[in-house]
């Protein structure tokens, strides 16, 4: 099988992740932050090292205590949007390639208007010149949400340039980066860009298991916890603690998944087998030689390891089924939980067949996909 569904969940995982999960209950395992047995303490130290690794990855080296663990990026995003308090839809501005993890909690906010959308080019990348004029012409927003990399066409956003415009007009506007697809491909520096929040997921390109996620919070007092309860810290107090990360990590955290995520991060290859230029050239060859509409970046430097296809004959659903059942190539069809992105790119009525790569995919696998696309159109 050729696996091109890594934007859903990456496969394969590093062998160390498989071995760790296979044997994690060979010894007694208690609760992180509570139990004192050797095995639990060993895994708890892995979790703390993971916290440091994630902080370092986004440029928050001295703020690892401000990385909190969640079950996925969706929970992280909801923690921010619901934690800001008294937020209205019209006080939010978002990028035009957002996922439902962002749009649904925003559209559930009170208010009579939709959130505003940052101006973009026709591939969904934020138009910096137009954004400067747009932000200047509108009253300061309370929250700006930016999808770091689209789960539909793989477009990277120029985060530092957008953040400079937003913060230049209002330092009070909070910036949330949805990094679910973007990390580790997009290089973030939260300190240099004054980014307030970064939502992270473990089970995609960061090689962890499902049910793992994280959230960076620049100022922990700027939002309220999404969930309250015991955290093993100052248990005599009946009110929330201000101590980080315990302020946001209540209940029994996913010690099994987080320790496996740590191993995935440690063993993940630092460089993929396909260069960005090779992928961009491959996408261009489909556009030039085959009868498909391709959703991708207009420019190589903004192209991540995701693109989507819409056949000129037949449906994306049939294309995806044919690729799997005739060629054992796994893709994903539909709207990908991103109707706003499909609306922006003009594919809301059709959906698309998504091809998403990991560091383990090869050029020979892309060549096999290209040949399959040729044969399906003969």
Residue 8 lies in a domain: no
- Residue 199 maps to which CATH number? 3.40.640.10
Name the stretches of the chain with pLDDT < 70. 233
Q: Which of 378, 311, 299, 296 is nearest to 345 (CA)?
A: 296
Q: What is the pLDDT of residue 291?
A: 96
Last residue of a domain, one of 247, 267, 287: 267
Q: What is the pLDDT of residue 175?
A: 98
**Backbone torsions φ then ψ of 99, nearest 5 degrees:** -95, 160
Residue 82 lies in a domain: yes
Q: Which of 72, 74, 56 is nearest to 64 (CA)?
A: 56
Indicate if 230 and 350 belong to the same structural domain.
no
Q: Residue 268 class from Cβ within 10 Å (0-12 exposed, 13-18 middle, 19+ buried)?
A: buried
Alpha-carbon distance values, 367 to 282, 305, 329, 362, 377 (Å): 9, 15, 12, 9, 16
**Terminal Cα-to-Cα distance of the chain (whole angstroms):** 23
Alpha-carbon distance values, 74 to 126, 177, 201, 212 (Å): 22, 12, 8, 11
> Is residue 205 within 8 Å of residue 181, measured between CB atoms?
yes
Q: What is the pLDDT of residue 1?
A: 95
Q: What is the pLDDT of residue 211?
A: 98
Q: What is the pLDDT of residue 259?
A: 98
Q: What is the pLDDT of residue 339?
A: 97
Residue 79 lies in a domain: yes
Indicate if 170 and 284 belong to the same structural domain.
no
Q: What is the pLDDT of residue 100?
A: 98
Q: 206 is in which domain, residue-wise?
A: 15-267
Which residue(s) pair with 213 in the sheet? 70, 201
Q: Which of 3, 72, 1 is nearest to 332 (CA)?
A: 3
Indicate if 367 and 323 belong to the same structural domain.
yes
Q: Which pLDDT tens digit goes with each residue over 5-28?
A: 999 999 999 999 999 999 999 999
Indicate if 179 and 318 belong to the same structural domain.
no
Q: Residue 83 class from Cβ within 10 Å (0-12 exposed, 13-18 middle, 19+ buried)?
A: middle
Cα angle value 297/301/305 (rounded, 5°): 60
- Token pair listed for 111: 């208010």
> How far apart, in whole angstroms, are the C-alpha atoms of residue 103 and residue 243?
30
Residue 208 lies in a domain: yes
Last residue of a domain, one of 239, 267, 295: 267
> How far apart, in whole angstroms, are the C-alpha atoms of residue 77 and residue 215?
8
3-state secondary structure of 360: coil
Number of structural domains in the chain: 2
> Is residue 20 within 8 Å of residue 258, measured between CB atoms?
no
Indicate if 109 and 224 belong to the same structural domain.
yes
Residue 371 lies in a domain: yes
- Residue 288 maps to which CATH number? 3.90.1150.10
Residue 7 lies in a domain: no
Q: What is the pLDDT of residue 119?
A: 98
Q: What is the pLDDT of residue 350?
A: 97
Q: What is the pLDDT of residue 239?
A: 78
Q: Which pLDDT tens digit goes with each residue over 323-356?
A: 999 999 999 999 999 999 999 999 999 999 999 9
> How far apart, in whole angstroms, are the C-alpha atoms of residue 312 and residue 231?
55
Q: Which of 177, 252, 239, 200 is nearest to 68 (CA)?
A: 200
Q: HSE (CB half, 13 Å, CA atoms) of 294? A: 22
Indicate if 116 and 193 belong to the same structural domain.
yes
Last residue of a domain, one of 240, 267, 294: 267
Q: What is the pLDDT of residue 32?
A: 86
């Amino acid at each position: 099988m050729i696996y091109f569904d890594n934007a859903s969940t990456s496969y394969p995982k590093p062998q160390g992740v498989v071995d760790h999960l296979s044997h994690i209950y060979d010894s007694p395992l208690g609760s992180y932050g509570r139990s004192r047995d050797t095995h639990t303490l060993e895994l708890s130290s892995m979790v703390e090292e993971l916290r440091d690794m994630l902080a370092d990855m986004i440029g928050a080296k001295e703020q690892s205590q401000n990385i909190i663990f969640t079950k996925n990026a969706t929970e992280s995003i909801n923690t921010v949007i619901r934690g800001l308090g008294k937020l209205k839809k019209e006080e939010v501005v978002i990028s035009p390639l957002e996922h439902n993890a962002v749009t649904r909690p925003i559209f559930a906010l009170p208010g009579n208007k939709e959130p505003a959308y940052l101006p973009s080019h026709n591939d969904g990348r934020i138009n910096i010149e137009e954004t400067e004029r747009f932000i200047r012409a509108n009253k300061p927003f309370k929250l700006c949400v930016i999808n770091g990399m689209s789960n539909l066409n793989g477009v990277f956003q120029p985060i530092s340039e957008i953040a400079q415009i937003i913060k230049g007009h209002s330092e009070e506007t909070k910036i949330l980066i949805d990094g679910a697809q973007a990390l580790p491909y997009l290089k973030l520096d939260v300190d240099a860009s004054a980014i307030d929040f970064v939502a992270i997921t473990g089970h995609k390109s960061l090689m962890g298991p499902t049910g793992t996620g994280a959230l960076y919070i620049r100022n922990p007092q700027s939002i309220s916890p999404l969930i309250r309860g015991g955290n093993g810290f100052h248990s005599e107090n009946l009110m929330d603690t201000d101590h980080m990360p315990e302020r946001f990590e209540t209940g029994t955290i996913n010690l099994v998944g987080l320790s496996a995520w740590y191993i995935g991060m440690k063993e993940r290859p630092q460089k993929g087998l396909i260069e960005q230029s090779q992928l961009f050239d491959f996408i261009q060859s489909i556009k030039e030689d085959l009868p498909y509409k391709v959703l991708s970046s207009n420019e190589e430097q903004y192209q991540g390891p995701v693109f989507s296809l819409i056949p000129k004959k037949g449906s994306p659903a049939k294309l995806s089924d044919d690729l799997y059942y005739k060629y054992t190539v796994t893709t994903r069809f539909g709207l990908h939980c991103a109707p706003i992105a499909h609306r922006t790119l003009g594919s809301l009525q059709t959906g698309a067949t998504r091809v998403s790569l990991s560091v383990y995919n090869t050029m020979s696998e892309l060549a096999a996909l290209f040949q399959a696309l040729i044969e399906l159109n003969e």
